[in-house]
Amino acid sequence: VGIARDIIIEGETGYQVSGKPEEIKECIESLRNRNLRLQMGQRIQDEVENRFNWGNIMDQYTNLYRSL
């Protein structure tokens, strides 16, 4: 959904499913594993903090303006 497609690394930071019942079932069964949920949660938090912090955003804008 939205930006989630840009930050989800399949099987590492989450899952993206097509909506097919079998895919949804497999993801739910996988996420019953508490350790896996905690690992994925930490990985997605790290990914978001690293990619979407103000320093990186400012660097991206600076590079964009310099390229114009």
The rounded distance, in Å, linking the Cα atoms of 53 and 48 is 8
Of 47, 56, 57, the residue nearest 6 (C-alpha): 47
Residue type, 64: L
Indicate the SS3 state at residue 21: helix
Q: What are phi and psi of 2, to 5 degrees?
A: 55, -130
Q: What is the pLDDT of residue 35?
A: 96
**Cut 0.85: pTM above it:** no
Q: What is the pLDDT of residue 32?
A: 95
Q: What range does the domain containing 33 cover?
A: 4-67
Residues of the chain with pLDDT under 70: 1-3
C-beta neighbour count of 48 within 10 angstroms: 13
Q: Count structural domains, the chain.
A: 1
